[in-house]
Structure 1
């Protein structure tokens, strides 16, 4: 009964606090994380096993829906050349800031490596929402920013998979082992590509003809779970598989029907993903944050400045002016979904400590609060400059 009550409380609180966050103009993920914090405060004994299970499903469907709804291979191919430079620039810059931060604070090599990777992902959802709100989606910095966020997340997940394999070996592997890890990733992607182009479309054709109710919707869910499981068989992380599966399914017209998308959204964003975000909040130790002081502040500054500096420099290289580069730099600062998945896995694998985890989650919340405000200021500054010409 306690587990049912706690799940009821979580679903209720994430919706109420998520709605409250949206109404005051910030992404709902901030309220959903707060709901998880309240779970740990109000319940003395939390049924962590059951809630962890739902949270793991939430992380899988968070990555799956990111690929399924937000990533288009066609758009990536079209925009990737012009956005490759600023994307690589921000990835290198964020990694250097994260790795250097870890070494300065005497983290182990692997923990510093993980921190460099964890500094990288950009929240596609926050970027899209901000660009739409500011009517800047079709601008040159806007389209570049969106494509860069897609590439950024794909590359970050790739390096995250490599770091996970480092941890499983308990040491930094020799070159041959690194090549073996890369080979596993490439073989997994090749198998998924073959399945996505030759098997999955046929399965959807058969599912559409079935008399069983919701066969197409069920097939989408099965592919999400299968992709995550197959990645684990290759000793990769389930997040890699879920994201890859989502991208491939997004290219199948039958799987992208509005009715199917609505049902997938209902399961993922209605229940599972908010529970995952709440679980993140539950894992935060408020006492550690209270006493971390300068460490928390510095990790937030390092994470934000790494993206800002890399985005600004990279966009200047491809010909953006000062204000366009500034808009791009502040626009790629926000983190959310994929960042939180990587942080959760890092904590579970004991790569990072509890105080680092808590500080990084706070960084995620801060980034989604200040990035839209900074972007709005930069856009208005550019418009004022253009008005004076």
Structure 2
């Protein structure tokens, strides 16, 4: 069947099912994953290579847009000191629980390390709507949660870059190997910093003066693709380079004109990113998922409890009370975008098999479903407790 028709069907179905998901109160990513599952059921002769290409572009623009739109270095500097302790705490616990999972089920060291990294990121976007609806986003736990999510992604991307490079050795590398990995990462970052500081601003200045239509927008897209390519050249992953590229041009005013931003978002969220999530759904083996049994349950329990416990302990350490700490822990439980990129990379590199892939995708889905409701319950409980205390004092 024509690849054009299959792409057309996927774009149509991700929008329809994404809208249906939003209307029943869950993030659109749920509908987009379901669209991919339906696609795999309905079509027999699938143009997998074409769909995979669009999905790869989707993963690149998912992380590029995260760096381009969500990371603001000035705001990050002011909020990072407060958010650093709870961020490190929840990452350490999630990382440890992921590694423990691998040990329990006799994974190799590399597989265990990958599970630890896959457990680490947080998708704060899943609970943003709940925070806004309950007027809690501007509260101290809400603002720290937002800052923590940004730091979380940055740390998670770094951990992923290390594990991806380890995977090329198929074992833990020697000291010389580790130094080589670190050298490549540092050289890549140095080149990107020089480009972002000195070359990119000048190019954007020239682009704005050009008469050709949409030159600045085209240049933003080219930076995303170039950053991804350069990362692969240094044997990192393309998505890591895209994330760094997005952060760098987020500091260039000409690259962040409102008109340009809306076009980048239109390309990313209108087409490419939903196709990536659909490809995740298409990649799930329903038969394998039905036979994961105990393993899937342990994945869900350890992944969610690691974030909850780590977030609770870390936020208590910076002075939050019991309820605020519980709210923070619940708020950092959900997974979505970066986690699914990590999973796809792990499967493509042969680090994880289909059973592990399907079980962790199921964990992502469960976290998306339960986190908003759990957060709403936690916030309402805190407010009721405060009201009861005020009444008793009077």
Q: TM-score range by the shorter chain?
A: over 0.9
Structure 1 residue matching 2:189: 3-state secondary structure = helix
Q: Output the TM-score relative to the length of structure 2.
A: 0.97
Q: Does the Cα contact within 8 Å between 2:126 and 2:368 map onto a contact in 1?
A: yes
C-alpha distance in 2 between matches for 1:354 and 1:253: 44
Structure 1 residues 79 and 190 mapped into 2: Cα distance closer, same or farther (>3 Å)?
same
Distance, in Å, in 2 between the alignment partners of 1:225 and 1:47 is 23
Q: What whole-Å deviation, never above 9, does each CA across 1:101-128 have from its counterpart, x for those lacking one? A: 1110111110000000000111142243
For residue 198 of structure 1, report the CA deviation from its aligned partner: 1.2
The answer for the alignment partner of 2:73 in structure 1 is 73
Which residue does the alignment assign to 1:334?
334
Query: Which residue of structure 1 aligns with residue 4 of structure 2?
Result: 4
Q: For structure 1, which runs of at least 5 residues remain unmatched after alignment? A: none
Q: Distance in 2 between matches of 1:197 and 1:124?
A: 29
Distance 1:235 1:246 in 2: 19
**Inter-partner Cα distance in structure 2 for 1:368 and 1:249:** 30
1:132 and 1:183 map into 2 onto residues whose CA distance is: 43
Residue 389 of structure 2 is aligned to residue 385 of structure 1: no
1:198 and 2:201 are equivalent in the alignment: no
C-alpha distance 199-128 of structure 1, shift in aligned 2 (>3 A): farther
Q: Does 1:172 align with 2:168?
A: no
Distance 1:218 1:125 in 2: 27
Q: Deviations over 1:73-119 (max 9, x none)?
A: 11111111111111111111001100001110111110000000000
Q: CA shift at 1:236, angstroms?
A: 0.7
The one-character-per-residue Cα deviations of 1:281-306 (angstroms, maximum 9, x if unpaired) are 00001111112122111111110011
Tell me the secondary structure at the aligned position of residue 181 of structure 1: helix
Partner of 1:110: 110
Unaligned runs of 5+ residues in structure 2 are 390-394
- Answer whether contact 2:57 2:272 (CA < 8 A) is retained: yes
Contact 2:58 / 2:272 at 8 angstroms: preserved in 1?
Answer: yes
Q: Once superposed, what is the RMSD of the aligned Cα atoms?
A: 1.0
Q: Deviation per CA, 1:1-50, whole angstroms, max 9, x where unpaired?
A: 52111111100100000000000000000000000001110011210010
In the alignment, what sits opposite 2:392?
Answer: none
Q: Name the residue aligned to 1:32.
A: 32
Which residue matches 1:308? 308
Which contiguous aligned blocks of 4+ residues in structure 1 show a shift greater than 4 angstroms?
Answer: none
